[in-house]
Homo-oligomer: A and B are copies of this chain.
Amino acid sequence: VSYDVPSRLEGWHVRHRGAASLEVSDFFLREENLAQPDEGEVLVRTRWLSLDPYLSFAMIGSGDSGASWPVQGRIIGEAVQSRAKNVPVGSTVLGTGQWREWNVLRGADVDVLPGDPHWPSTVHFGVLGASGLTAWVGMTLAAVQPGETILISAATGPVGSVCGQIARERGARVLGIAGGEEKCRLAVSRYGYDDCLDHRLPGLSDRLVAAAQTGIDVLFENVGAPSLDPALSAIVEGGRVILCGLAAHYRTGDPIALTNFRLILRKHLTMRGFAWTEHRDMHPAGRAWLTERLAEGTLAYDETVSTGLPQAAEAYVAMLFGKGLGKHLLQLP
């Protein structure tokens, strides 16, 4: 295969808006130069972009309205030229690159993917990558015991869907929160949940207290105030909150307002924020568990795929609004 490598190409940028809410119109394409790979670098043709909620932090910036940011996220692509010993030409790599068709990346910063014929490379973004390992590390920190009740928000997201399956295997009663009847149905039928509550229906707080029965022992929070505030009403004294994500608050820098923040004090709760990357000691066991179940075909996961670089901004904002299911990806043809 020979490629026509351009010297100039279009890449996505986003205007910082500080506290204001992120919109499709904040994104724009800008033409820029493509460098030649230097010693130790590789030229990568992008095949997939991972549309990750946490990128919003950088997108909205910190009040410096007017500046802009060249969007960089996790990409999977083909190494078309390589001056890095660890990266053979033609291999599939995962790294952090700009949202554009070509990137020059340092060989030391990319992972060469094994190219297993049994599953698509995109599992390394999701179920065998950050999402799956986040779920594994989170469930390990949650230390959920048989017979305990765990509540997981964003139950059908790329993390929540794996959490449900791990928590079920560990003998917990698994409750979820998701947006819409269809997602709630899938949480129970595919992802190991005993019950899933639709946050779009009224009275979530009362429904949570009822569904929790003797109370929620562990809350695994992916969303923020819309689920955390009512969930705190239903958590037991001495309960644990594992804070994995704040997806509802990534689009803006607005304060996060919680009426039930007081219950952290009054119920003597422990809340712990984490990222999978700070617990590398847990990764081998997590990778083994995930790989084994993926190979057996007993690990359910979903992807929502959009196509074409021009769709990136719309696909990204739709993901933030909870459209689609599982891991959100953009495929470059």
Contacts and interface: CB of A to CB of B under 8 A. Distances in A.
Interface of A: 57, 238, 243-246, 249, 253-259, 261-262, 264-275, 278
A245 B267 CA distance: 12
A273 B278 contact: no
Contacts of A266: 57, 273
Given A270-B272, A272-B270, A243 B265 contact: yes
A238 B141 CA distance: 14
26 contacts: A238-B278, A243-B264, A243-B265, A244-B265, A255-B257, A255-B258, A255-B259, A256-B257, A256-B258, A256-B259, A256-B261, A256-B262, A257-B258, A258-B258, A258-B261, A264-B271, A266-B273, A267-B273, A268-B273, A268-B274, A268-B275, A269-B272, A270-B271, A270-B272, A270-B273, A271-B271
The number of times this chain is found in the oligomer is: 2
A246 B265 contact: yes
A264 B257 contact: no
Interface of A: prevailing SS: mixed
Contacts of A278: 238, 268
Given A265-B275, A270-B273, 15 more contacts: A244-B265, A246-B262, A246-B265, A255-B258, A255-B261, A256-B261, A256-B262, A257-B257, A257-B258, A264-B273, A265-B273, A267-B273, A268-B272, A268-B274, A270-B271
Nearest to A253: B259
Contacts of A253: 259
Contacts of A238: 278
Interface centre among A246, A261, A274, by most chain B C-beta atoms within 10 angstroms, is A261
A74 to B, nearest CB: 18
A268 to B, nearest CB: 5
Contacts of A246: 261-262, 265
A253 B261 CA distance: 11
Nearest to A254: B259
A304 B173 CA distance: 51
Nearest to A265: B273
